[in-house]
Structure formats: C-alpha cells, structure tokens
Structure 1
C-alpha cells in the first residue's frame, strides 16, 4: 500500500479515479450520500501522499500543509451537507476553506525582499478579477456581500504568495503551485457564479470538482518538488 503512495504515477491514477467516482456520485441525487465516503477517501489520499513523501525539515511548514488539507477535507463534507439547503453548513465550510487558503498562503510566504514593481501586474489582475466577479453577482449577494469579499481577498492573497515564490524556489515547484492556484481560482469563480448568478453555468457539477481536485493535486506535488532532498524521492516523483 505504501508503494502506491510513494510512486506519483500510481498515486495519480488512484487520485483521479477517486475523483471520477466522487463526480459520479455527485451527479445522481440518489447516490449523493455516498459522497461522504468518496470525498473523504479523495481528500485523505492526498494527505497520506503528502505525509509519506515530504522531506520538509521545518515542522511548522509541514503542519500548515496538514492543517490546510484537513480543513479542506472537513469543509468538503460540510459543503455536501449544505447541498440540502442548510446555509449554516455552507458558511462553516466556507470558513474552513478560508483557514485552509490562509495556511497555504503562510506556507508559501518567504522573508525575501521584493520590489513593489514586481507586484503591479499582479495587483492589476486582482483588481480586475474581483471587480468582474463582484459586478456579475452583486445584485444577488444581499448579506453575503462581506463574506464573499473576504473570501475573494483570501483567494487573491494565496495567488500573491504563490506568485512571489518565483525565483525563490525551483521553477518546477513554482509552476506546479501557480497552475494549482489558478485551477483553484477557476473552481472558486465557477462556484460563486453558480450560487449567485446561474445555477447551470459551465457544466458546474463536473467542472467545479475537476478544477478543485486538480488544484489540490498540483499544489501538493509542487510543494513536494520544492522540499525533496533525497534522490530516491526525486526519482519517485518524476
């Protein structure tokens, strides 16, 4: 069983097979309760993969990733429960996702100085992104205006710290993480638009979960590629 998680090809097949299973359950109302099992297996398979392969010596950084993955896992279960219309479940799940994204942000932060000019293109992108999303859904937000604003801010915060890793880590790790964060943004955007704009937008029953699972996978692989030191682990992750 350990070998299944130590080899990235075998784990990838397992992980995306679990995604397909979970997506299948999601699209059939009578099978929805089985998502509590499939989603738990999907989430914790990624956690096990990380724990078995990380060589990160900084225990604080390891804990941040573990906390983030656990928050995502529990938040997913509350999102499933929230599909029944329970808004408190949805709000608590959103709170857990915010904690998870903040943990990722702190994990990706570094003490290096950087030029503010380096952030100008990024800040411009953030402004445009948040303005477009808020403009589309503004009339439907009501009491969710502030919570959504906070959530989008955290999404942009994560993107910022992922972006600032450029030239501070190896390029392979940087690009895995940055593409993972972009996939996460796509999933978040579709989820917001589904809730407050169009419930049927962009085949969201499939696309949201796809980009969300892809983002988690890419981020964790990117983190592992940054922290690997053993030649054996490097070979296992190629």
Structure 2
C-alpha cells in the first residue's frame, strides 16, 4: 500500500505544480486538499500501522497542516482565513516539535550549541526584516516565527539520537518548511515574488514529504 500512496503523492505533486504553473484554480482545488491525507496514509502504511508516540504526533501534525492548507486555499474568499491557516500550521509545528522531542536522550544542543546559532539568527533577523510592514499581523507573525524556528531547532536537536538517515531527511524537511513559509511572508508583507505560489507549494510539498520519509526511517 505504501507504494500506491507514494505513486499517488507523485501524481498529486505534479498536479499541484501544474496548477500553480498554469494559474489554474481548478487544479489547485483538486490536488491541494489531497497532499496531506496522501502523506499521512503513506506514513501509516510505511510503518505497517504501528503507531508509536512519535508517529502519532507526526500524523496529528499532518492533520493540522491539512486544515491549514484548506484555510489558505480559501483565503481569497475571506481574508480572515489567513490567520486561521496560520493558527492551524502553528499547531502543526507544535506537534512536530513534540514528536521530534520524543526520542531525545542526549540533546545535540549540548554537544554543538554553536550550530544552532544560524537558526536563532534567521528567526530573529527575518522577523525584524518583516516588522515594519506587519501592521495588525505583528503578534501572529511573531508567534509563528518563534514556533517554526523552534521546529527547525528541535529537528536539528535529533542528531545523534536517531538514525542518521531519519535525522537528515527530517532536518532538511524542516529547512524546506522554513523556506516555504518565508516565501509566503515575503510575498504577503514585502514584495510580489514571480511565481510565488509555485515556489511555495514546491518547497512545502518537499518539506512534508521529507518529514514523512524521515519519520518512517526513525
């Protein structure tokens, strides 16, 4: 079954990218709601239904990501849905953080604290860069920046606590997530990025896939 859902994800990935490339709302409405359910089922069957605490928290994160996808997809009909989508993804990242922390016995932070500095600096610097244009979104964006930066930090903290492959896949997924959300923020608050929707969804789908793939390798 996992092969079936992996193939399905490839089809969804191509369909979603095509929708963004051709600016087709129809393709977006068809494929975007399928991304996270497909990855959740792919992960479920990859671990043969053995739901450890780690896998449960990752799948719950996938569910809230799916809710965030739906909210942001419908944002054009109600601008308030942007904040709702932000809230759903914030909760998703909290569950990812909880999941990443489940197997930490010796925090990597204690061994190589300097390696975490770039993540801290990026989170602080990016918020400072956006701040003049945030207006009424200052508090929500600040909270989201803190949480997604923490998600990447906790992903890095897994090093030497899990298999090297699981660490690499999930940490790369976390970095792609930070990139995807940074593109959303830049486009909404700073400047119009050409084909922004395409780059956002490309990096987002890669991020979630790497998290799913790394989770089954744990």
TM-score, with normalisation over the residues of structure 2?
0.89
Distance 2:21 2:80 in 1: 23
Q: Given that residues 20 and 197 in structure 2 are in contact (C-alpha distance below 8 angstroms), is that contact kept between their aligned partners in structure 1?
A: yes
Q: Report matched runs for 1:111-190 at 5 Å.
A: 111-114=104-107, 116=110, 118-122=112-116, 124-190=117-183
Label 1:116 to 1:61 Cα distance change in 2 as closer, same or farther (>3 A): closer
1:205 and 2:197 correspond = yes
CA shift digits 1:78-116 (9 cap, x unpaired): 1010134x2221111110101111101100103524364
Distance 1:15 1:59 in 2: 23
| Structure 1 residue 58 displacement after superposition | 5.5
Q: Given that residues 162 and 177 in structure 1 are in contact (C-alpha distance below 8 angstroms), is that contact kept between their aligned partners in structure 2?
A: yes
Label 1:131 to 1:66 Cα distance change in 2 as closer, same or farther (>3 A): closer
Moved more, 138-147 or 128-137: 128-137
1:193 and 2:186 correspond = yes
Tell me, which stretches of 5 or more residues in structure 2 are unaligned?
A: none
| Structure 1 residue 26 displacement after superposition | 3.4
CA shift digits 1:32-63 (9 cap, x unpaired): 14423311222211111011111585643332
Match among 79, 83, 95 for residue 103 of structure 1? 95
TM-score, with normalisation over the residues of structure 1?
0.82
Label 1:18 to 1:56 Cα distance change in 2 as closer, same or farther (>3 A): closer
1:217 and 2:209 correspond = yes
CA shift digits 1:127-177 (9 cap, x unpaired): 321233123322110121111111111111111111111111110111011
Distance 1:204 1:94 in 2: 18
Distance 1:64 1:16 in 2: 24
Q: Given that residues 120 and 149 in structure 2 are in contact (C-alpha distance below 8 angstroms), is that contact kept between their aligned partners in structure 1?
A: no
Moved more, 40-49 or 16-25: 16-25
Q: Look up the SS of the partner of 1:83 in the other structure.
A: helix
Distance 1:183 1:215 in 2: 5
Distance 1:25 1:121 in 2: 38
1:46 and 2:24 correspond = no
Q: Look up the SS of the partner of 1:17 in the other structure.
A: helix
| Structure 1 residue 120 displacement after superposition | 3.1
Moved more, 98-107 or 128-137: 128-137
Distance 2:173 2:201 in 1: 13
Aligned to 2:74: 81
Q: Given that residues 136 and 197 in structure 1 are in contact (C-alpha distance below 8 angstroms), is that contact kept between their aligned partners in structure 2?
A: no
Larger radius of gyration: 1
Distance 1:216 1:185 in 2: 11
Match among 54, 58, 72 for residue 65 of structure 2? 72
Aligned-residue CA RMSD (Å): 2.1
